[in-house]
Amino acid sequence: MFTFSDLKGRIVIVTGGATGIGEAFVRAFVEQSAVVHFCDVNTEAGRRLADELGERAVFAPVDVTREDDLRAWIQAAGAVNGRIYALVNNVAFDQRIPFDDVSMDDWDRLMAVNLRAAFICVQEVVKFMGDGKGGSIINLGSCAFHTGQPDHLSVYISAKGGQLGMTRELARELGPRNIRVNLLSPGWTMTDRQLRDYVTEETQQFLKQVQCLGEPLLPAEIANVAMFLASNASRAITGQNILADKGWAHH
pLDDT at 195: 59
Percent of the chain with pLDDT over 90: 75
In angstroms, rounded to a whole number, what is the distance separating the alpha carbons of residues 16 and 219? 14
- Burial class, 134, CB count within 10 angstroms (exposed 0-12 / middle 13-18 / buried 19+): middle
* Per-residue pLDDT tens digits for 186-215: 977 777 776 576 667 777 787 788 788 878
Average pLDDT, the chain: 92
Taking a C-beta distance cutoff of 8 angstroms, is the pair 129, 78 a contact?
no
100 pLDDT tier (thresholds 50, 70, 90): very high
> For residue 251, what pLDDT is reported?
47
Instruction: Tell me the pLDDT tens digit for each residue of 9-63.
Output: 999 999 999 999 999 999 999 999 999 999 999 999 999 999 999 999 999 999 9
Strand partners, 189: 217
d(CA 90, CA 200): 25
Share of the chain above pLDDT 70, in %: 94
Q: What are the residue ranges spanned by the domains of the chain?
A: 5-244
DSSP bridge pairs for 143: none
Q: Which of 3-7, 123-127, 149-153, 229-233 has the lowest mean pLDDT?
A: 149-153
Task: Name the residue among 228, 136, 120 with its Cα closest to residue 178.
Answer: 136
Res 186: pLDDT: 92
**Which residue in 4, 25, 145, 156 is the catalytic one?**
156
Q: What is the band of 150 on the pLDDT scale with cuts at 50, 70, 90?
A: low
Q: What is the 3-state secondary structure (H, E, C) of 161-192?
A: HHHHHHHHHHHHHHHHHCEEEEEEEECCECCH
For range 236-243, the mean pLDDT: 97
- Which class would CATH give 5-244? alpha beta
Does the pLDDT at position 108 exceed 70? yes
131 versus 196: which is more confidently predicted? 131
- pLDDT for the residue 137: 98
Give catalytic status of residue 156 as yes or no. Answer: yes
CB 229 within 8 A of CB 136: yes
